[in-house]
């Protein structure tokens, strides 16, 4: 392994900051096992700035093991750089490596399931939320099996509460949610989705394949209206799909890059449209307020979610 600059002895020169980040050599080649990183990149580790060394190294080590590029946008072996955190192998990555080397040789231990609920409730000031949605004019924040409810900018008493208290039949945790123009709420989790009318389930679980999505584990869903036309966007990693609400299918199976929307982070946990018409994007403990007309983030963002929505004190 080396951090090299420009021409460095393998006829695959680097090009300075940006562009080519690294390359590796496959098994049974002259330089098999070698990984070269471009010295001129701004390398960092898991801090959201610069180029994440862990993400790039994992991709290149995949080549060293014999993996080709993947067409799945959430795969480590996707040919386009992503700094999504934490680093996680997709099912396509796992299938590829098991095809080359065989399945795992161990059996995961059995985990005893219980119906017990921990008495220690999650702290909204330190929670990275899974999903957020404006539902019936109230703002709901989801994490694991819990939900927080905000009305008129005030957290309601008795929250967090179990999500199943409101929506019987909802999965134990959700990845994304949005309320459509008719007032129905769509919940996404794993490879499935559910649709609720108020607190009553009207469909689901149904497969995301019915919506034309080529991936699972949608991470955020956002609805807004433009010229009286309903628009819905589904996000995963640093990509998004435009959803045709009339046909109930994505318009194109090939995703677009979130980097087209100026100022947004490269990975989004949740999104919602507020009562003022601004799109809000959450990543970790922060959120970005986005003008859907000007297509840019408002000045002064990102801000901390806990401070603005839950009245948390500023961290020391």
Name which residue leads in pLDDT, 30 or 297: 297
Opening angle at CA 84, ends 271 and 109, nearest 5: 105
Split into its structural domains, the chain has a count of 2
Is 39 in the same domain as 176? no
Question: Between 146 and 47, where is the model more confident?
Answer: 146
Distance CA 101, CA 67 (A): 11
- This prediction has a pTM of 0.62
Position 316 in a domain: no
Same domain, 280 and 215: yes
141: Cβ contacts below 8 Å, ≥ 6 apart: 124, 127, 129, 131, 132, 147, 148, 150, 309
Residue 237 belongs to some domain of the structure = yes
The answer on 88 and 134 residing in a single domain is: no
DSSP letters of 114-125?
-----SS---GG
Residue-wise pLDDT for 50-104, tens only, equals 788 888 999 999 888 888 888 777 788 887 777 666 778 888 888 888 888 887 7
Out of 11, 41, 60, 138, which one is annotated catalytic? Answer: 60
Predicted pLDDT of residue 15: 79
For the beta carbon of residue 244, count every other beta carbon within 10 angstroms: 16
Q: Measured between alpha carbons, how far is 1 from 187 in angstroms, rounded to an integer?
A: 44
Model pLDDT, residue 116 = 46
Answer yes or no: is pLDDT of 261 > 70.
yes
Residue range(s) defining the domain that contains residue 29: 2-101
Tell me the C-alpha distance between 81 and 51, whole Å.
Answer: 9
pLDDT of residue 313: 82
Report whether 244 contacts 250 (CB < 8 A): yes
CA distance 17 to 254: 28
Q: What is the mean pLDDT of the chain?
A: 85
pLDDT: which is higher, 113 or 200: 200
60 is catalytic: yes
């Amino acid at each position: 392994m080396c951090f090299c600059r420009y021409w460095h002895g393998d006829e695959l020169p680097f090009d300075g900051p940006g562009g080519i980040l690294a390359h590796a050599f496959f098994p049974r080649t002259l330089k098999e096992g070698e990984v070269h990183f471009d010295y001129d990149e701004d390398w960092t580790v898991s801090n959201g700035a610069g180029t994440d060394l862990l993400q790039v190294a994992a991709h290149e080590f995949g080549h060293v093991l014999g993996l080709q590029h993947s067409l799945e946008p959430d795969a480590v072996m996707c040919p386009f750089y992503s700094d999504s955190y934490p680093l996680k192998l997709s099912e396509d990555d796992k299938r590829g490596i098991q095809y080359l080397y065989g399945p795992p040789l161990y059996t995961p231990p059995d985990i005893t399931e219980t119906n017990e609920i921990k008495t220690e409730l999650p702290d909204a000031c330190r929670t990275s939320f899974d999903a957020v949605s404006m539902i019936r004019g109230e703002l709901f924040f989801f994490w694991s099996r819990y939900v927080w409810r905000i009305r008129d900018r005030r957290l309601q008493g008795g929250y967090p509460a179990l999500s199943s208290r409101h929506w019987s039949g909802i999965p134990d945790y959700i990845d994304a949610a949005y309320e459509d123009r008719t007032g129905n709420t769509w919940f996404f989790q794993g490879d499935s989705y559910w649709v609720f009318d108020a607190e009553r389930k009207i469909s689901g679980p149904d497969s995301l394949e019915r919506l034309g999505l080529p991936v699972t584990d949608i991470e955020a869903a956002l609805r807004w209206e433009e010229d009286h036309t309903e628009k819905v966007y589904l996000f995963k990693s640093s990509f998004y799909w435009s959803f045709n609400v009339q046909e109930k299918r994505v318009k194109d199976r090939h995703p677009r890059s979130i980097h087209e929307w100026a100022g947004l982070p490269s990975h989004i946990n949740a999104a919602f449209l507020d009562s003022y018409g601004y799109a809000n994007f959450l990543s970790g403990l922060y959120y970005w307020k986005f003008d859907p007309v000007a297509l840019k983030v408002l000045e002064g963002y990102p801000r901390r979610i806990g401070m603005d929505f839950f009245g948390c004190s500023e961290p020391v």
